[in-house]
Structure 1
Amino acid sequence: MHPALALLTALLVSLPLAGKAACEVESGPGTTALIELYTSEGCSSCPPADARLSRLRPDQSLVPLALHVGYWDDLGWRDPFAQEGFAKRQSWLVGLGGARTVYTPQFFINGAATRPGSLASQVERINAQPARASLRLRAALSEDGRLALDARAASPLEDVLLVIAVAESGLSSDISAGENRGRRLRHHHVVRAWLGPFPLKTGQLTLKRTLALAPSWRPDALAVGAFVQDPRSGQVLQAVGADRCLTHQEVGS
């Protein structure tokens, strides 16, 4: 299945430095808004959008994710956070909306393109809608630096998808080429790993995965996200967010 058909749940859970940290988050009756920003360090108009996303914090109303794309890399600066699958996902979402052109920065909220100035009103509108999926996500950071993920998703709709994302905040780059040459760019909610999409074949799914963290990732700055999405419309059925709920909490406590 095309990686662009990824789902959206958005559960962001910060992970502490100490090992054996764990957290569990469950969705509520209303719909949480998933905000996706498609961005690039090679794009001179992206830093203001990055800053806008950085001011958002995951909670019961919204979950922010920054997905870096690589189609600006030929201008001289290679974005270290870009992944090929994110450009494919952006193209898929754009096509579902009836458009043909992809660009950065571009915001999507629950699978639909939106203007940055309308984010607040869109979040309020989405929150008022009953959720059409339920989600529960447990994340645990082991002493050996591996991330164990346990997700449960259910929906009355057929053929929907679940995706889990690992994101990192507090990142920065000193840009030496391209449109942003000479600038230091700072980022939050940058997606580092994208797991899925996983189909809910019988209307529900229980999923367990273990992820080895890259040496450059800072465990205290990581977050985990999950979302359920309808691949036919791109609409996000439910999302959930929590910020730093794992801090200093021991497994089994």
Structure 2
Amino acid sequence: MRLSTRISTFCAHAVLLMSGVAVTAHAAPERTCSVASPAHRVALVELYTSEGCDSCPPADNWLSRMNRERRSDIFVPLALHVDYWDNAQWRDRFAQPAFTARQKYLSSTGGGNIVYTPAVFVGGRELRGWSNATSFDERVQQLDAQPASADIRIGAQTSASGTVAFDARIDARTPLPADAYAYVAVYEDGLHSDVKGGENAGATLHHDRVTRKWIGPVPIVDGHAQITGTYAASGMEQGVVAFVERASTGEVLQAADLPRCGEAGDAGSGGAQPVR
């Protein structure tokens, strides 16, 4: 499906809240975990997908496989479900209008005027050959070979009630473009849907790295930005991604991933370190 233009802006010096994320103070955490981005650039991989699209399940499975096999200091995957496939037959429960707007924005910064699913963007640029392992690896390695222009540190605190408080800090390593902004996404793994209508009727779909909450764009002032928020533990594998993006080009300058903050040794492939 092909539809066609640009994501909304924000209030300066304020965190833009979407999908129910709350910015607040937190007390008495039970566990604390953190992760820091490396000295090289990490590629953000964005899959635009929909449960209403019959060509999307193979792409969803591809993202899940890549997530299992990856190193988090090489690339960070996210699945963003768009809403332009939603209709009376089936509505994707993970879809958000903001993700449709983001896909249009990234497409327009790359000179495109249409959007479709499945589509993959690496570092803010569309990669049409994403299903070709050589093409994907070359794009990721090209980005990883570049020095990082920003440091990202994400911390998370899990309370006895199961609420997770997170804090993402962005600090410039070199002068950032004036139009560089920070974002945070909260994702879930291990999700399933029994589709009752539409192109995937009768199928059970499996999803990982599904973006459920979104914050941004947040201004980076004098080389620094901080984003805090909370989410309720759902029983699914959850985590937080933070990244820095240049608004005029859509280029993602750095990314970091903090997976679920659980027991020691249970931090997942993202390399989160429990702090006692």
How many angstroms apart in 2 are the aligned matches of 1:44 and 1:109?
23
Deviations 1:221-240 (A, max 9, x none): 10111101111111111112
Residue 34 of structure 2 aligns with an amino acid whose one-letter code is E
Cα contact 2:171–2:224 (8 A) shared by 1:
yes
Q: 1:38 aligns with which of 42, 48, 52?
A: 48
Aligned partners of 2:187 and 2:238 also within 8 Å: yes
Question: Number of residue pairs matched?
Answer: 236
Given that 1:4 and 1:89 are in contact with CA atoms closer than 8 Å, whether structure 2 keeps it comes out as no
User: In the TM superposition, what is the alpha-carbon distance from 1:28 to its structure 2 partner?
Assistant: 1.4
Aligned counterparts of 1:242 and 1:149: Cα–Cα separation in 2:
10
SS class of match (2:143): helix
How far is 1:4 from its partner? 7.6
- In the alignment, what sits opposite 1:13? none
Cα-to-partner distance string for 1:153-207 (whole Å, 9 max, x where unaligned): 1221123111111100100101110000111000000001111221102221133
Partner of 2:87, secondary structure, is helix
The equivalent residue for 1:240 is 256
Q: Quick check: 1:23 aligned with 2:42?
A: no
Number of the residue aligned with 1:82: 95
Q: TM-score, normalised by structure 2?
A: 0.80
Please give the alpha-carbon distance, in whole angstroms, between the structure 2 residues aligned to 1:252 and 1:26: 13
2:185 is matched with which residue? 165
Counterpart amino acid of 1:162? Answer: A
**Amino acid corresponding to residue 59 of structure 1 in structure 2:** S
Taking structure 1 as the reference length, the TM-score comes to 0.87
Whole-Å separation in 2 of the counterparts to 1:130 and 1:251: 27
Structure 1, unmatched stretches of 5+, are: 7-18
Residue in structure 1 matched with residue 240 of structure 2 by the alignment: 224
Task: Tell me what 2:227 maps to.
Answer: 207
Q: Closer, same or farther in 2 for the Cα pair 1:87/1:247, shift >3 Å?
A: same
CA contact (8 A) 1:23 1:139 kept: yes
Say whether residues 1:187 and 2:197 are aligned partners. no
In structure 2, do the counterparts of structure 1 residues 212 and 25 end up closer, same or farther at CA, with 3 Å as the change threshold? closer
Structure having greater relative contact order (Cα 8 Å, sep ≥ 6): 1
Using the TM superposition, give the Cα deviation of residue 252 of structure 1 relative to its aligned residue in structure 2, in angstroms. Answer: 5.0
Tell me the distance in 2 between the aligned counterparts of 1:171 and 1:92: 27
Matched residue, 2:165:
148
Structure 1 letter corresponding to 2:228? K
Q: CA deviation at 1:247?
A: 2.9
Residues 128 and 212 of structure 1: CA distance in aligned 2, closer, same or farther (over 3 Å): closer
1:125 and 2:142 equivalent? yes
Distance in 2 separating the partners of 1:204 and 1:35? 24
Q: Tell me how far apart the structure 2 counterparts of residues 124 and 242 of structure 1 sit (CA, whole Å).
A: 21
Displacement of 1:2: 4.1
RMSD between aligned residues? 2.2
Structure-2 separation of matches of 1:20 and 1:56: 32
**Alpha-carbon contact 1:29-1:131 (below 8 Å) kept:** yes
| Contact 1:162–1:200 (Cα < 8 Å) also in 2 | yes
How many angstroms does 1:242 deviate by?
A: 5.0
What SS is found at the alignment partner of 2:76? strand
Structure 2 counterpart of 1:131, which letter? A
8 Å CA contact 1:4, 1:92 repeated in 2:
no
For residues 59 and 251 of structure 1, what CA distance do their matches in structure 2 show? 16
Distance in structure 2 (CA, Å) of the matches to 1:174 and 1:90: 26
Partner of 1:111: 124
